[in-house]
Amino acid sequence: MEFTTFLWTTVAAFLTLAVFSFLYKDNPMYKFAEHLFVGVSAGYFVIILWHGALVPNLFKKLADGDWWYFVPGILGVMMFARFFKKSSWISRWPLAMYIGISTGLAIPLEMANRVNRQLWAMMEPINWSSFWGERYLDIGSGYSELFIFVGTVSALVYFFFSKAHTGAFGAVAKFGIWTLMLGFGASFGFTVMARISLFINRIQYLDINWGQTAFNAADTSNVNYHAGFQALFWAVWLIFLVYAVFEYKKYLSNKDKPSQAAGTSA
């Protein structure tokens, strides 16, 4: 690894630690990282949209003599009428076109791709010949397929609020909410594990990519290694140490002072 690459790795490590410092409290390093993220992400998407959508969909089409594409270009510029109070109503026209096309497109597509496909999958015949399956908790068994069918119908019944959830209807709705709770629990558990995986990944980055490279523990064959690696490593920790000392001194100076709220009430 070259020095410049390690410099960038150190920047990434500093930003990682800066975001994690929020666990202590909102602090200048976290605020810096947060605002940097907003700016860099916004800039990144500007470039991606320019090169990936605007150039091929508008500029190249116009360059090829497809003059119809002047219409969305003009409509797009009309959006900027929003900046002027008197003519801001003009921006409703392109917005109306955008909403009209996207909602019109959504109706058949949502019905076909979301509702119909799910209903279709739900109505697959149940595997009665192997109802109990061949192994422990067999997903392809008849009882699992029956559970999916009954669970989906009862969960839909639970969402039907035009009829009181009493009697047989209430019993089905109750099974529906049980199914939903099992599903929500599974999704929540899955999300928790995904976040934990991300956390492990960041710790591994700090350890392997940054810490071990700084001390050349993992890659002894690095011909570009020199003392600057360790200097950068300790410089980052020094920043956090200086901040910790600053915070501690602030805490000590405020410890004996009466709080502002108490002063006001007195």
Partner 1 sequence: MKRQIPLVIVFVFGTLMVIQYFVPHENSEIVKGFLLDWIVIIGIFALALGLWSLVQVSIDKINSRKENWEYPLVTLISLTVMIFFGFTSHAEDASWWGYFLAIAVLLAALWMLAQGLMGNAANRNVKSLSALGLVIVFSLLAIFDGSWEFKFYTAEGLTNQMFVHFFDYIMIPLQATMFALLAFFITSASYRAFRARNLLATLLLISALIVMLRFTPGPWGEYLAKTSSWVMNVPNLAAQRAIVIGIGLGIVATALKVILGIERGYMGKG
For residue 210, which of 3, 13, 20, 5 has the smallest C-alpha distance?
Answer: 13
Q: Where are the alpha helices (DSSP H) in the chain?
A: 3-20, 28-49, 60-63, 70-78, 92-110, 117-122, 142-158, 167-204, 213-214, 228-255, 260-265
Residue 142 or residue 256: which is nearer to partner 1 going by CB?
Answer: 142
5: its two tokens: 């690459």
Residue 107 or residue 266: which is nearer to partner 1 going by CB?
Answer: 107
Distances (CA, A) of 40 to 32, 47, 73: 12, 11, 27
* Residue 228 CB, nearest approach to partner 1 (Å): 17
* Residue 243 CB, nearest approach to partner 1 (Å): 16
For residue 93, which of 78, 83, 106, 80 has the smallest C-alpha distance?
Answer: 78
* Residue 197 CB, nearest approach to partner 1 (Å): 9
* Residue 256 CB, nearest approach to partner 1 (Å): 25
Q: Is 173 exposed, middle or buried (0-12, 13-18, 19+ CB in 10 A)?
A: buried
Place of tokens 């109505």: 123
Residue 58 or residue 266: which is nearer to partner 1 going by CB?
Answer: 58
Rounded to an integer, what distance in angstroms lies between the CA atom of residue 67 and that of residue 40? Answer: 35
Residue 130 or residue 187: which is nearer to partner 1 going by CB?
Answer: 187
* Residue 222 CB, nearest approach to partner 1 (Å): 19
Q: Is 95 exposed, middle or buried (0-12, 13-18, 19+ CB in 10 A)?
A: middle
Residue 119 or residue 256: which is nearer to partner 1 going by CB?
Answer: 119
* Residue 23 CB, nearest approach to partner 1 (Å): 6
* 195 Cα distance to chain centroid: 11
Residue 12 or residue 236: which is nearer to partner 1 going by CB?
Answer: 12
